[in-house]
Amino acid sequence: MNSLEKLYKELKKKYGLAKGQWRLWCKRLKTGKEREEVVIGAILTQRTNWRNVEMALKNLKREKINSLRDIYKLGPEKLAPLIKSSGFYRAKANYLFHLAKFIIENYGSLREMKKEDLPKLRGELLKLKGIGKETADSILLYAIEKPVFVIDEYTRRFVKKHKMAKKFPYEYLQNLFQKSLPRDIKIYQDLHAMIVLEEKGAGWDSKNPSEQKII
Partner DNA sequence: CACCAGGAATGTA
Partner DNA sequence: TACATTCATGGT
Q: Does 132 bind DNA (CB under 7 A)?
A: yes
**Exposed e or buried b for every residue in 57-86, given b needs 16+ CB within 10 A?**
bebbeeeebebbebbbebebeebbebbbbb
Smaller CB distance to DNA: residue 67 or 86? 86
> By the 8 A CB rule, do 145 and 39 touch?
no
- Interface residue with DNA among 115, 129, 163, 207 (CB under 7 A) is 129
Q: Of residues 40-99, which lie at the interface with DNA (CB under 7 A)?
A: 45-52, 55, 84-85, 87-91
Q: Which stretch binds DNA (CB under 7 A): 67-75, 102-110, 168-176, 180-188?
A: 168-176
Angle at 200 between CA 131 and CA 126, to 5 degrees: 10
Going residue by residue from 15 to 44, which x/- string records binding to DNA, judged by CB under 7 A?
Answer: ------------------------------
| Amino acid symbol at 195 | I
- Interface residue with DNA among 133, 147, 178, 181 (CB under 7 A) is 133
Q: Does 169 bind DNA (CB under 7 A)?
A: yes
Distance CA 23, CA 17 (A): 8
Distance CA 138, CA 115 (A): 17
# residues near DNA by CB under 7 A: 41
Smaller CB distance to DNA: residue 115 or 129? 129
User: Minimal CA–CA distance to 117: which of 138, 96, 149, 148?
Assistant: 148
Going residue by residue from 196 to 215, which x/- string records binding to DNA, judged by CB under 7 A?
Answer: x---x------------xxx
Question: Could you give the angle at which helices 170-180 and 3-15 cross, rounded to 10 degrees?
Answer: 80
- Interface residue with DNA among 130, 145, 174, 185 (CB under 7 A) is 130
Contacts of 117 (CB under 8 A, 6+ apart): none
Residues making contact with DNA (CB under 7 A)? 45-52, 55, 84-85, 87-91, 126, 128-136, 138, 150, 152-154, 167-169, 171-172, 196, 200, 213-215
